[in-house]
Amino acid sequence: MRRKLIAGNWKMNKDIHETAELVNELKEHLKDFRNDLHIVICPPFTSLVVARGLIKDTPLKLGAQNMSDKEDGAYTGEISGRMLVTIGCEYVILGHSERRQYFKETNELINAKAHRAHAFGLTPIICVGETLEEREASVTDKIITTQIKGVLAQLASVDLDRCVIAYEPVWAIGTGRNATPDQANQVHRLIRKLVGQMYSWAVAERLTILYGGSVNPSNALDLLSQSDIDGALVGGASLKADSFLSIIRAGIEPSQKVFN
Ligand code: PGA
């Protein structure tokens, strides 16, 4: 059984007051939540302590949006994996396309961060995805193959069980233009096939692969019903309780009673 997961990537939004407001609202609605679905919120670093205090005894889990590949030391402005663990993070997003684009993160660096995240016991949510030019040039499969091989280099099979991959086509992020469920599912299958070749089919079958890029309450169900889409990494729609909760609902089997 694959872990199903819905994660909210708040990006550079929400100060501590806004964080408390949103978390309290989510908490109120998730009071009776009973499900195996993992729900992760990834606020900015400055809000992690506040969020951690509020999510106690709720189904919400905490993630960060980035971390250093270094253990500790003289790296001004950086945040280490140990700092994240001691603050209560279980997850960390690595290699988001905004980090690749604006901060020049490479597959090698993201791979080093993934190794470091595992050393600290964090579950990395590692992002891959092609740009619009790459999709239009029909090189999506090639790009995804290079990214997957690069970011997973030298990770052991046991580490793969503590990894989540997020497929986020760059052209779909924050644009309102999501990949069609079929387009997304095809890339998810490719990722699973690659992991099967690099590790084993058993490892690939257990791997949680999220889709991200303009997921919203109207398209979530179609995307999440695909055979190889195991959850979503949600940006804009995770900033409001009602839209994030609708996406969480879409990730749950209709037959299961969940929350108000
Ligand atoms: P979006 O962002 O849902 O606002 O498109 C997704 C992401 O960047 O993780």
Residues with CB under 6 A from ligand 1: 9, 168, 173-174, 212-215, 233-237
What global pTM score does this model have? 0.96
Catalytic annotation, pick one of 96, 98, 105, 118: 96
The full DSSP string for 105-172 is: --HHHHHHHHHHHHHTT-EEEEEE---HHHHHTT-HHHHHHHHHHHHTTT--HHHHTT-EEEE--GGG
The pLDDT of residue 258 is above 70: no
pLDDT in tens, 116-133: 999 999 999 999 999 999
Ligand 1 center to 212 CA (angstroms)? 6
Closest protein CA for atom 9 of ligand 1: 235
Q: CB neighbours of 160 closer than 8 A, spacing ≥ 6? A: 152, 195, 199, 203, 206, 207
Ligand 1, residues 96, 215, 238, 247: which to mutate, most atoms within 8 A of Cβ?
Answer: 215
pLDDT in tens, 223-253: 999 999 999 999 999 999 999 999 999 998 7
pLDDT in tens, 151-209: 999 999 999 999 999 999 999 998 988 889 999 999 999 999 999 999 999 999 999 99
* CA-CA-CA-CA dihedral for 152, 157, 159, 163, to nearest 10: 60
Can 96 be counted among the known catalytic residues? Answer: yes
Whole-number pLDDT of residue 255 = 61
* CA-CA-CA-CA dihedral for 109, 114, 115, 116, to nearest 10: 90
Ligand 1 center to 231 CA (angstroms)? 13
pLDDT in tens, 78-131: 999 999 999 999 999 999 999 999 999 999 999 999 999 999 999 999 999 999
d(CA 41, CA 64): 8
Closest ligand 1 atom to the C-alpha of 174?
5
Closest protein CA for atom 1 of ligand 1: 235
Can 90 be counted among the known catalytic residues? Answer: no
Q: DSSP character for 47?
A: G
The whole-chain average pLDDT of the chain stands at 95
The pLDDT of residue 35 is above 80: yes
Catalytic annotation, pick one of 105, 130, 168, 188: 168
Ligand 1 center to 81 CA (angstroms)? 23
Beta carbons of 7 and 208 less than 8 angstroms apart = no
Ligand 1 center to 25 CA (angstroms)? 21
Closest protein CA for atom 7 of ligand 1: 235
Ligand 1 center to 112 CA (angstroms)? 24
